[in-house]
Amino acid sequence: MESNSFERFLVLYKKDIKNLKQESMLLLGFILLAYIFVVYKITITQDERFWVQVGDILFLIVVFMIFIRSFVFIASEWNNNTVFLVKPLPIRGKEFLLAKTMAVSTQAIFLGGICLGFMFLIWHFIVDIEPFYAAYERKIWIILFDFIKLINLFTIVFFSSVVGQLFKRHSQLITIFVFVITLYLIVLLDSAFAQLLGCDYYSLSLPNTYLFLIRTSNSWLSFLFNASFTLMYTIFFFMGAASLYDKKVEEVKND
């Protein structure tokens, strides 16, 4: 990427981060209040495991809210006519989508990391959950893979959103349809290759399934397989989305 291209990426990235700032602050306030309440309930109740599960669910809620927000991230550029403002500029699809992917990923890593910090605090200092102690290192790698998979999901969302914007009617329905079909095909393909190579397969894991994943995913081959294929899909869909975005912008320029 050339220096001027990198500078354009930074400008777009800072703009997207600024657009997410208010939303991120609201989610941060929700996270702090919710986990402080969970920690308080754990310290005064006998039903510790229930509140540990509540803490896990809070993590899912935060990630889900960020995930849903990513669906409108691309569409808002067209709905707000932002594309008409940037079309005279030498901004390519790679810069545009990379900035959005990195902005949403930054938000997810920042807020998700705070949630995980509270979860580790609960697991290791407030309650005694032996299986988590026994598999601490493997749990770290599973969480790392979760973030890789989350970035992959953002890329698929943006790919689906750009495909939807190619159609003048029913773009939102087309976006959802393309996303579901794409995700379903990836799961089938991943599972088929995992069986062929004889290694464990896991998609986007959830906190409540950590114990299952820790017990079944017992080799570095499994992690490398899943991470490699996830990165491959991420690059593929990112490049596809960038090409489609450039095509759409060219159509707008020619109108």
d(CA 242, CA 95): 8
Query: Which pLDDT value is given to residue 184?
Result: 84
d(CA 148, CA 219): 18
Sequential pLDDT tens for the chain (255 residues): 445 777 778 888 898 899 888 889 999 999 999 999 988 888 887 777 788 788 878 888 888 888 888 877 776 766 666 655 555 556 677 788 888 888 888 998 899 889 888 887 877 766 665 555 454 555 666 667 777 778 888 888 888 888 887 787 787 888 889 888 988 888 787 777 666 665 555 544 433 333 334 334 445 666 677 778 778 888 888 888 888 877 776 665 555
Those residues whose C-beta lies under 8 Å from the C-beta of residue 113, and which sit 6 or more positions away, are none
Asked if residue 99 lies in contact with residue 13, where contact means CB atoms within 8 angstroms, the answer is yes
Query: Which pLDDT value is given to residue 250?
Result: 67
Query: Which pLDDT value is given to residue 88?
Result: 54
The amino acid at residue 117 is G
d(CA 161, CA 174): 8
Q: What is the pTM of this model?
A: 0.74
Query: Which pLDDT value is given to residue 26?
Result: 93
Which residue range(s) make up the domain with 147? 3-254
Give me the number of domains the chain comprises: 1
Query: Which pLDDT value is given to residue 204?
Result: 44
DSSP state letter for 122: I
Query: Which pLDDT value is given to residue 214?
Result: 38
d(CA 219, CA 210): 15
Contacts 24+ apart (CB under 8 A), 191-194: 193/225, 193/229, 194/222, 194/225, 194/226
Query: Which pLDDT value is given to residue 31?
Result: 92
Asked if residue 111 lies in contact with residue 27, where contact means CB atoms within 8 angstroms, the answer is yes
Asked if residue 238 lies in contact with residue 102, where contact means CB atoms within 8 angstroms, the answer is no
Please work out, in degrees rounded to the nearest 5, the angle formed at the alpha carbon of residue 205 by the alpha carbons of 203 and 207. 175
CA dihedral 205, 53, 67, 7 (to 10 degrees): -80
Q: How many helices (H) and strands (E) does the chain have?
A: 9, 0
